[in-house]
Amino acid sequence: MSDLVIIGGGGAGMTAALTARKINPRVDVTIITKESLSYSSCALPFVISGEIPSMDDITSSMEAICQKSGIKLVLDSATSIDTKKKVVSTERSGLISYDSLIIATGGRTMVPPIKGADLRNILTLYTVDDAEKIMAQANKSKKAVVIGGGAIGIEAAAALVGLGLKVTLVEGFPHVLFRFFDDEYLAIIEDELKAKGIEIILSHFVEEVMGKEKVDAVKVAGKEIPSDLIIMATGVRPNSEIAEKAGIKTMKYGILTDWLMQTNIKDVYAAGDCAYSRSMITGELMLSQLGTTAIRHGTVAGMNAVGESVAFEGALGSMALKIFDLKVGRTGLTEREAKEAGIDVISGRAKATTKAKYYPGHKEVDVKLIFDAASKELIGGQIIGGGAVAKKIDLIALGISKHATVEDLIGLGYSYTPPLAPSHNVIVLAAENAYRKMKRAEEARRRRF
Protein backbone atom coordinates (compact mmCIF):
# COMPACT_ATOMS: atom_id res chain seq x y z
CA MET A 1 0.00 0.00 0.00
CA SER A 2 1.29 3.47 -0.95
CA ASP A 3 -0.17 6.67 0.43
CA LEU A 4 0.19 8.15 -3.05
CA VAL A 5 0.62 6.41 -6.39
CA ILE A 6 1.47 8.45 -9.49
CA ILE A 7 1.12 7.02 -12.98
CA GLY A 8 3.68 8.80 -15.15
CA GLY A 9 7.08 10.26 -14.40
CA GLY A 10 7.18 13.27 -16.71
CA GLY A 11 7.07 16.92 -15.68
CA ALA A 12 3.69 16.70 -13.96
CA GLY A 13 4.22 13.30 -12.36
CA MET A 14 7.70 13.97 -11.00
CA THR A 15 6.68 17.43 -9.77
CA ALA A 16 3.69 15.91 -7.97
CA ALA A 17 5.88 13.28 -6.30
CA LEU A 18 8.54 15.74 -5.15
CA THR A 19 5.89 18.21 -3.96
CA ALA A 20 4.06 15.55 -1.94
CA ARG A 21 7.32 14.57 -0.25
CA LYS A 22 8.11 18.19 0.58
CA ILE A 23 4.67 18.77 2.04
CA ASN A 24 4.78 15.59 4.10
CA PRO A 25 8.17 13.81 4.27
CA ARG A 26 6.47 10.80 5.93
CA VAL A 27 4.18 10.12 2.97
CA ASP A 28 4.87 6.95 0.99
CA VAL A 29 5.03 7.86 -2.73
CA THR A 30 5.26 5.45 -5.68
CA ILE A 31 5.80 6.43 -9.32
CA ILE A 32 4.85 3.97 -12.07
CA THR A 33 6.54 4.78 -15.37
CA LYS A 34 8.20 2.94 -18.22
CA GLU A 35 10.64 5.83 -18.73
CA SER A 36 14.06 5.37 -17.15
CA LEU A 37 15.14 8.94 -17.91
CA SER A 38 13.80 12.26 -16.70
CA TYR A 39 14.03 15.16 -19.17
CA SER A 40 12.23 18.13 -20.67
CA SER A 41 11.03 17.53 -24.22
CA CYS A 42 11.28 21.30 -24.75
CA ALA A 43 15.06 20.90 -24.88
CA LEU A 44 15.07 18.28 -27.66
CA PRO A 45 15.15 20.67 -30.67
CA PHE A 46 18.25 22.34 -29.25
CA VAL A 47 20.04 19.00 -28.86
CA ILE A 48 19.18 18.23 -32.49
CA SER A 49 20.59 21.60 -33.62
CA GLY A 50 23.76 21.12 -31.56
CA GLU A 51 23.14 24.20 -29.41
CA ILE A 52 23.03 21.77 -26.47
CA PRO A 53 26.05 19.50 -27.03
CA SER A 54 24.70 16.17 -25.84
CA MET A 55 21.52 14.33 -24.87
CA ASP A 56 23.28 13.57 -21.58
CA ASP A 57 23.08 17.28 -20.75
CA ILE A 58 19.26 17.24 -20.57
CA THR A 59 18.60 13.79 -19.08
CA SER A 60 18.79 12.46 -15.53
CA SER A 61 18.29 8.97 -14.15
CA MET A 62 14.79 8.41 -12.79
CA GLU A 63 16.23 5.87 -10.39
CA ALA A 64 18.76 8.37 -9.00
CA ILE A 65 16.13 11.12 -8.56
CA CYS A 66 13.70 8.79 -6.81
CA GLN A 67 16.35 7.25 -4.59
CA LYS A 68 17.57 10.68 -3.48
CA SER A 69 14.02 11.86 -2.75
CA GLY A 70 12.73 8.75 -1.00
CA ILE A 71 10.30 7.87 -3.78
CA LYS A 72 9.61 4.28 -4.81
CA LEU A 73 10.09 3.77 -8.55
CA VAL A 74 8.29 1.04 -10.48
CA LEU A 75 9.67 0.82 -14.03
CA ASP A 76 6.60 -0.67 -15.61
CA SER A 77 3.41 0.23 -17.50
CA ALA A 78 0.10 0.73 -15.71
CA THR A 79 -2.62 -1.21 -17.53
CA SER A 80 -5.79 -0.43 -15.58
CA ILE A 81 -7.22 1.30 -12.50
CA ASP A 82 -9.88 -0.06 -10.14
CA THR A 83 -11.12 3.05 -8.36
CA LYS A 84 -13.40 1.07 -6.01
CA LYS A 85 -10.66 -1.24 -4.77
CA LYS A 86 -8.09 1.57 -5.10
CA VAL A 87 -5.55 -0.51 -7.01
CA VAL A 88 -3.50 -0.01 -10.17
CA SER A 89 -2.69 -3.03 -12.33
CA THR A 90 0.69 -3.18 -14.07
CA GLU A 91 2.17 -5.33 -16.82
CA ARG A 92 4.84 -7.06 -14.71
CA SER A 93 4.66 -5.71 -11.16
CA GLY A 94 1.22 -6.92 -10.15
CA LEU A 95 -1.30 -4.80 -8.26
CA ILE A 96 -0.30 -1.59 -6.49
CA SER A 97 -2.79 -0.17 -4.02
CA TYR A 98 -3.16 3.49 -3.09
CA ASP A 99 -4.89 5.97 -0.82
CA SER A 100 -4.57 8.76 -3.38
CA LEU A 101 -3.82 8.47 -7.09
CA ILE A 102 -2.49 11.00 -9.60
CA ILE A 103 -2.78 10.24 -13.31
CA ALA A 104 0.03 12.03 -15.16
CA THR A 105 0.22 9.90 -18.29
CA GLY A 106 1.20 12.75 -20.61
CA GLY A 107 0.41 12.62 -24.30
CA ARG A 108 1.53 11.23 -27.62
CA THR A 109 2.13 12.86 -30.95
CA MET A 110 -0.77 12.87 -33.38
CA VAL A 111 -0.11 11.65 -36.92
CA PRO A 112 -2.89 12.71 -39.32
CA PRO A 113 -4.34 10.09 -41.68
CA ILE A 114 -2.30 11.10 -44.72
CA LYS A 115 -1.79 8.64 -47.55
CA GLY A 116 1.75 7.26 -47.28
CA ALA A 117 2.20 8.26 -43.62
CA ASP A 118 3.52 4.74 -42.87
CA LEU A 119 6.63 5.15 -45.04
CA ARG A 120 10.11 5.15 -43.49
CA ASN A 121 11.76 8.43 -42.47
CA ILE A 122 8.51 9.96 -41.20
CA LEU A 123 9.31 10.92 -37.62
CA THR A 124 7.78 12.78 -34.68
CA LEU A 125 9.42 14.86 -31.95
CA TYR A 126 8.28 14.25 -28.39
CA THR A 127 10.79 11.88 -26.75
CA VAL A 128 14.54 11.34 -26.52
CA ASP A 129 14.17 8.35 -28.84
CA ASP A 130 12.37 10.57 -31.38
CA ALA A 131 15.18 13.15 -31.28
CA GLU A 132 17.88 10.52 -31.70
CA LYS A 133 16.12 9.12 -34.76
CA ILE A 134 15.83 12.61 -36.25
CA MET A 135 19.53 13.30 -35.69
CA ALA A 136 20.52 9.99 -37.28
CA GLN A 137 18.33 10.57 -40.35
CA ALA A 138 19.27 14.26 -40.67
CA ASN A 139 22.91 13.26 -41.09
CA LYS A 140 21.88 11.29 -44.21
CA SER A 141 19.42 13.86 -45.58
CA LYS A 142 19.54 17.03 -47.66
CA LYS A 143 15.88 18.06 -47.74
CA ALA A 144 13.20 17.93 -45.04
CA VAL A 145 9.54 18.77 -44.72
CA VAL A 146 8.08 19.75 -41.34
CA ILE A 147 4.31 19.33 -41.15
CA GLY A 148 2.82 21.66 -38.55
CA GLY A 149 3.68 25.27 -37.79
CA GLY A 150 3.28 25.29 -34.02
CA ALA A 151 6.11 25.79 -31.54
CA ILE A 152 7.59 22.31 -31.97
CA GLY A 153 7.35 22.50 -35.75
CA ILE A 154 9.13 25.84 -35.89
CA GLU A 155 11.86 24.76 -33.48
CA ALA A 156 12.34 21.49 -35.41
CA ALA A 157 12.56 23.40 -38.71
CA ALA A 158 15.14 25.80 -37.25
CA ALA A 159 17.18 22.88 -35.90
CA LEU A 160 17.27 21.18 -39.30
CA VAL A 161 18.32 24.42 -41.01
CA GLY A 162 21.16 24.60 -38.51
CA LEU A 163 22.26 21.16 -39.66
CA GLY A 164 22.39 22.35 -43.26
CA LEU A 165 19.13 20.90 -44.59
CA LYS A 166 16.78 22.62 -47.02
CA VAL A 167 13.51 22.85 -45.07
CA THR A 168 9.89 23.33 -46.11
CA LEU A 169 7.31 24.07 -43.41
CA VAL A 170 3.67 23.20 -44.16
CA GLU A 171 0.84 24.67 -42.06
CA GLY A 172 -2.90 24.29 -42.63
CA PHE A 173 -3.80 27.54 -40.83
CA PRO A 174 -3.33 30.95 -42.50
CA HIS A 175 -0.18 31.52 -40.42
CA VAL A 176 2.33 29.62 -38.33
CA LEU A 177 1.68 29.94 -34.58
CA PHE A 178 -1.81 31.07 -35.57
CA ARG A 179 -3.41 30.36 -32.18
CA PHE A 180 -0.71 32.18 -30.23
CA PHE A 181 -0.10 35.57 -31.84
CA ASP A 182 -2.01 38.24 -33.71
CA ASP A 183 -1.45 38.80 -37.42
CA GLU A 184 0.95 41.74 -37.19
CA TYR A 185 3.42 39.68 -35.16
CA LEU A 186 2.91 36.53 -37.22
CA ALA A 187 4.10 38.40 -40.31
CA ILE A 188 7.35 39.29 -38.52
CA ILE A 189 7.87 35.68 -37.42
CA GLU A 190 7.27 34.35 -40.91
CA ASP A 191 9.67 36.90 -42.40
CA GLU A 192 12.36 35.66 -40.01
CA LEU A 193 11.78 32.04 -41.04
CA LYS A 194 11.91 32.93 -44.72
CA ALA A 195 15.06 35.01 -44.23
CA LYS A 196 16.78 31.92 -42.84
CA GLY A 197 15.86 29.92 -45.94
CA ILE A 198 12.72 28.07 -44.79
CA GLU A 199 10.02 27.77 -47.44
CA ILE A 200 6.59 28.22 -45.85
CA ILE A 201 3.37 26.84 -47.33
CA LEU A 202 0.28 28.17 -45.55
CA SER A 203 -3.45 27.35 -45.68
CA HIS A 204 -2.73 23.96 -47.22
CA PHE A 205 -2.54 20.41 -45.86
CA VAL A 206 -0.26 17.66 -47.09
CA GLU A 207 -2.31 15.56 -49.49
CA GLU A 208 0.04 12.59 -49.81
CA VAL A 209 3.47 11.34 -48.83
CA MET A 210 5.12 9.78 -51.85
CA GLY A 211 7.66 6.97 -52.07
CA LYS A 212 7.96 3.19 -52.15
CA GLU A 213 9.48 2.11 -48.84
CA LYS A 214 10.81 5.45 -47.68
CA VAL A 215 9.86 9.06 -48.24
CA ASP A 216 10.74 10.63 -51.59
CA ALA A 217 8.42 13.64 -51.64
CA VAL A 218 5.23 15.15 -50.29
CA LYS A 219 2.32 16.42 -52.35
CA VAL A 220 0.90 19.71 -51.17
CA ALA A 221 -0.82 22.66 -52.84
CA GLY A 222 -0.72 20.83 -56.16
CA LYS A 223 3.02 20.30 -56.28
CA GLU A 224 5.52 17.67 -55.22
CA ILE A 225 8.24 18.69 -52.75
CA PRO A 226 11.27 16.35 -52.66
CA SER A 227 12.19 15.23 -49.15
CA ASP A 228 14.46 12.71 -47.40
CA LEU A 229 12.90 13.33 -43.99
CA ILE A 230 9.49 14.35 -42.68
CA ILE A 231 8.80 15.55 -39.15
CA MET A 232 5.17 15.40 -38.06
CA ALA A 233 4.61 18.27 -35.64
CA THR A 234 0.83 18.12 -35.75
CA GLY A 235 0.02 18.26 -32.05
CA VAL A 236 -0.20 16.07 -28.99
CA ARG A 237 -3.13 13.90 -27.99
CA PRO A 238 -3.65 13.26 -24.24
CA ASN A 239 -3.07 9.73 -22.98
CA SER A 240 -6.39 9.48 -21.18
CA GLU A 241 -7.56 5.97 -22.15
CA ILE A 242 -6.61 4.36 -18.83
CA ALA A 243 -8.69 6.98 -17.01
CA GLU A 244 -11.68 6.65 -19.33
CA LYS A 245 -11.75 2.86 -18.93
CA ALA A 246 -11.76 3.31 -15.15
CA GLY A 247 -14.91 5.44 -15.28
CA ILE A 248 -13.06 8.71 -14.78
CA LYS A 249 -14.76 11.53 -16.65
CA THR A 250 -13.09 12.68 -19.85
CA MET A 251 -14.13 14.95 -22.69
CA LYS A 252 -12.95 14.28 -26.23
CA TYR A 253 -9.41 13.27 -25.31
CA GLY A 254 -8.44 14.89 -22.00
CA ILE A 255 -9.28 14.13 -18.38
CA LEU A 256 -11.65 16.52 -16.63
CA THR A 257 -10.75 17.83 -13.17
CA ASP A 258 -11.96 20.48 -10.76
CA TRP A 259 -9.88 23.41 -9.53
CA LEU A 260 -8.10 21.07 -7.10
CA MET A 261 -7.04 18.87 -10.05
CA GLN A 262 -9.32 16.14 -8.64
CA THR A 263 -11.37 14.07 -11.07
CA ASN A 264 -14.99 13.01 -10.60
CA ILE A 265 -13.65 10.10 -8.51
CA LYS A 266 -12.66 11.02 -4.96
CA ASP A 267 -8.91 10.78 -4.25
CA VAL A 268 -8.07 10.48 -7.95
CA TYR A 269 -6.31 13.46 -9.53
CA ALA A 270 -4.96 14.20 -13.00
CA ALA A 271 -2.17 16.52 -14.13
CA GLY A 272 -0.12 17.48 -17.16
CA ASP A 273 -0.68 16.91 -20.87
CA CYS A 274 -3.39 14.30 -20.21
CA ALA A 275 -5.63 16.75 -18.34
CA TYR A 276 -7.72 19.73 -19.29
CA SER A 277 -7.15 23.17 -17.80
CA ARG A 278 -9.47 26.14 -17.61
CA SER A 279 -8.61 29.55 -18.95
CA MET A 280 -7.78 31.95 -16.16
CA ILE A 281 -9.57 34.67 -18.12
CA THR A 282 -12.72 33.07 -19.59
CA GLY A 283 -13.04 29.95 -17.42
CA GLU A 284 -13.45 27.85 -20.57
CA LEU A 285 -11.92 24.39 -20.86
CA MET A 286 -8.62 24.30 -22.75
CA LEU A 287 -5.69 22.00 -23.34
CA SER A 288 -2.58 23.83 -22.13
CA GLN A 289 0.12 21.30 -23.04
CA LEU A 290 3.07 23.38 -21.87
CA GLY A 291 5.85 22.41 -19.50
CA THR A 292 4.97 25.22 -17.11
CA THR A 293 1.33 24.11 -16.98
CA ALA A 294 2.40 20.53 -16.28
CA ILE A 295 4.57 21.71 -13.40
CA ARG A 296 1.76 23.80 -11.90
CA HIS A 297 -0.74 20.96 -12.36
CA GLY A 298 1.71 18.59 -10.66
CA THR A 299 2.34 20.98 -7.79
CA VAL A 300 -1.38 21.45 -7.08
CA ALA A 301 -2.23 17.76 -7.48
CA GLY A 302 0.75 16.70 -5.35
CA MET A 303 -0.26 19.00 -2.51
CA ASN A 304 -3.95 18.12 -2.56
CA ALA A 305 -3.35 14.37 -2.84
CA VAL A 306 -1.66 14.44 0.58
CA GLY A 307 -4.21 16.57 2.38
CA GLU A 308 -3.74 20.20 1.31
CA SER A 309 -6.43 22.31 -0.35
CA VAL A 310 -4.85 24.43 -3.06
CA ALA A 311 -6.57 25.59 -6.25
CA PHE A 312 -5.14 25.66 -9.75
CA GLU A 313 -5.63 29.27 -10.76
CA GLY A 314 -6.19 28.53 -14.43
CA ALA A 315 -3.97 28.62 -17.51
CA LEU A 316 -2.80 31.59 -19.53
CA GLY A 317 -0.83 29.72 -22.17
CA SER A 318 2.30 31.72 -21.40
CA MET A 319 5.16 30.81 -23.69
CA ALA A 320 8.46 32.09 -25.04
CA LEU A 321 10.28 30.95 -28.17
CA LYS A 322 13.67 31.54 -29.74
CA ILE A 323 13.32 31.55 -33.53
CA PHE A 324 16.83 31.98 -34.90
CA ASP A 325 17.77 35.55 -33.87
CA LEU A 326 14.20 36.44 -32.96
CA LYS A 327 12.75 36.05 -29.47
CA VAL A 328 8.98 35.99 -29.05
CA GLY A 329 6.59 35.54 -26.16
CA ARG A 330 2.89 35.59 -25.42
CA THR A 331 0.39 35.13 -22.59
CA GLY A 332 -3.36 35.33 -22.09
CA LEU A 333 -5.72 35.97 -24.99
CA THR A 334 -4.81 37.26 -28.40
CA GLU A 335 -7.00 40.01 -29.81
CA ARG A 336 -8.51 37.42 -32.15
CA GLU A 337 -9.32 35.03 -29.28
CA ALA A 338 -10.83 37.80 -27.17
CA LYS A 339 -13.17 38.84 -29.95
CA GLU A 340 -14.18 35.21 -30.52
CA ALA A 341 -15.02 35.05 -26.79
CA GLY A 342 -17.25 38.11 -27.11
CA ILE A 343 -14.88 40.46 -25.29
CA ASP A 344 -14.51 44.00 -26.62
CA VAL A 345 -10.85 44.94 -26.46
CA ILE A 346 -8.55 47.89 -26.71
CA SER A 347 -4.90 47.16 -27.38
CA GLY A 348 -1.77 49.20 -26.89
CA ARG A 349 1.51 48.75 -28.69
CA ALA A 350 4.94 50.24 -28.21
CA LYS A 351 8.54 49.76 -29.27
CA ALA A 352 11.62 50.41 -27.19
CA THR A 353 15.10 49.03 -26.73
CA THR A 354 16.48 46.40 -24.38
CA LYS A 355 19.11 48.82 -23.06
CA ALA A 356 19.67 52.54 -23.41
CA LYS A 357 19.84 53.39 -27.12
CA TYR A 358 23.36 54.74 -26.75
CA TYR A 359 24.61 51.60 -24.95
CA PRO A 360 26.36 49.03 -27.22
CA GLY A 361 24.43 45.84 -27.92
CA HIS A 362 20.93 47.21 -27.51
CA LYS A 363 18.11 45.53 -29.47
CA GLU A 364 14.58 46.55 -30.34
CA VAL A 365 11.62 45.07 -28.48
CA ASP A 366 7.99 45.38 -29.58
CA VAL A 367 5.15 44.88 -27.05
CA LYS A 368 1.40 44.58 -27.50
CA LEU A 369 -0.96 44.65 -24.53
CA ILE A 370 -4.63 43.68 -24.78
CA PHE A 371 -7.22 45.07 -22.37
CA ASP A 372 -10.89 44.35 -21.74
CA ALA A 373 -12.49 47.58 -22.93
CA ALA A 374 -15.22 47.45 -20.26
CA SER A 375 -13.17 46.67 -17.16
CA LYS A 376 -9.84 48.09 -18.45
CA GLU A 377 -8.19 44.93 -17.10
CA LEU A 378 -5.21 43.36 -18.82
CA ILE A 379 -6.14 40.09 -20.57
CA GLY A 380 -3.25 39.41 -22.94
CA GLY A 381 0.21 40.34 -24.11
CA GLN A 382 2.66 39.62 -26.90
CA ILE A 383 6.33 40.51 -27.29
CA ILE A 384 8.73 40.20 -30.18
CA GLY A 385 12.35 41.28 -30.48
CA GLY A 386 15.52 40.75 -28.53
CA GLY A 387 16.52 40.62 -24.89
CA ALA A 388 14.77 39.08 -21.91
CA VAL A 389 11.38 38.41 -23.57
CA ALA A 390 10.47 35.64 -21.12
CA LYS A 391 10.85 37.91 -18.08
CA LYS A 392 8.58 40.55 -19.58
CA ILE A 393 5.96 37.92 -20.46
CA ASP A 394 6.11 36.65 -16.87
CA LEU A 395 5.44 40.18 -15.63
CA ILE A 396 2.47 40.55 -17.99
CA ALA A 397 1.14 37.16 -16.87
CA LEU A 398 1.36 38.30 -13.25
CA GLY A 399 -0.57 41.42 -14.18
CA ILE A 400 -3.32 39.33 -15.76
CA SER A 401 -3.54 37.02 -12.75
CA LYS A 402 -3.87 40.02 -10.41
CA HIS A 403 -6.51 41.74 -12.60
CA ALA A 404 -4.20 44.68 -13.24
CA THR A 405 -5.82 47.62 -15.03
CA VAL A 406 -4.29 49.91 -17.60
CA GLU A 407 -3.74 52.49 -14.85
CA ASP A 408 -1.90 49.90 -12.74
CA LEU A 409 0.55 49.23 -15.55
CA ILE A 410 1.07 52.92 -16.26
CA GLY A 411 2.06 53.27 -12.60
CA LEU A 412 4.53 50.35 -12.72
CA GLY A 413 7.66 51.12 -10.75
CA TYR A 414 10.56 49.84 -12.80
CA SER A 415 14.35 49.92 -12.74
CA TYR A 416 16.75 51.70 -15.07
CA THR A 417 20.44 51.59 -15.80
CA PRO A 418 21.91 52.04 -19.29
CA PRO A 419 23.65 48.63 -19.54
CA LEU A 420 20.51 46.70 -18.53
CA ALA A 421 17.35 48.71 -19.20
CA PRO A 422 16.22 51.94 -20.90
CA SER A 423 14.75 54.89 -19.05
CA HIS A 424 11.30 54.22 -20.56
CA ASN A 425 9.80 50.79 -19.88
CA VAL A 426 8.18 49.30 -22.97
CA ILE A 427 5.29 47.75 -20.99
CA VAL A 428 4.44 51.14 -19.53
CA LEU A 429 4.66 52.71 -22.99
CA ALA A 430 2.26 50.12 -24.41
CA ALA A 431 -0.15 50.69 -21.52
CA GLU A 432 -0.01 54.45 -22.11
CA ASN A 433 -0.83 53.85 -25.79
CA ALA A 434 -3.88 51.78 -24.81
CA TYR A 435 -4.93 54.40 -22.24
CA ARG A 436 -4.94 57.14 -24.88
CA LYS A 437 -7.14 54.95 -27.11
CA MET A 438 -9.53 54.38 -24.20
CA LYS A 439 -9.78 58.12 -23.54
CA ARG A 440 -10.45 58.82 -27.22
CA ALA A 441 -13.18 56.15 -27.23
CA GLU A 442 -14.75 57.69 -24.10
CA GLU A 443 -14.69 61.14 -25.70
CA ALA A 444 -16.29 59.79 -28.87
CA ARG A 445 -19.12 58.22 -26.83
CA ARG A 446 -19.73 61.51 -24.98
CA ARG A 447 -19.97 63.44 -28.25
CA ARG A 448 -22.87 61.25 -29.35
CA PHE A 449 -25.11 62.75 -26.64
Element (H, E) at 440: helix 426-447
Sorted by sequence, the CB contacts under 8 Å of residue 353 that are 6+ apart come out as 362, 363, 364, 365, 422
> Cα dihedral sign for 442, 446, 448, 449?
positive
Contacts of 440 (CB under 8 A, 6+ apart): none
DSSP string, 208-220: EEE-SSB--EEEE
Q: Hey, is 47 helix, strand or coil?
A: helix
Instruction: Point out the catalytic residue in the list 23, 42, 75, 410.
Output: 42
The number of beta carbons lying within 10 Å of the beta carbon of residue 171 is: 25
Q: At what angle do helices 11-23 and 291-304 cross, to 10 degrees?
A: 40
Amino acid type, 18: L
Torsion angles phi and psi, residue 373, rounded to 5: -65, -30
- CA–CA gap between residue 9 and residue 272 (Å, rounded): 11
Taking every pair of Cα atoms in the chain, the longest distance, rounded to a whole number of angstroms, is 77
Per DSSP, helices labelled H in 209-275 are 241-245
**Cα gap 267→24, rounded to integer Å:** 17
CA-nearest of 303, 418, 307, 291 to 357 is 418
User: Active-site residue 66, yes or no?
Assistant: no
- Whole-number Å distance between alpha carbons of 161 and 197: 8
Provide CB contacts within 8 A for 1, sequence distance 6+.
Answer: 28, 97, 98, 99
Q: How many CB atoms lie within 10 A of CB 392?
A: 22
Assess contact for 230 and 218: CB atoms under 8 A: yes
Q: Annotated active-site positions, please?
A: 42
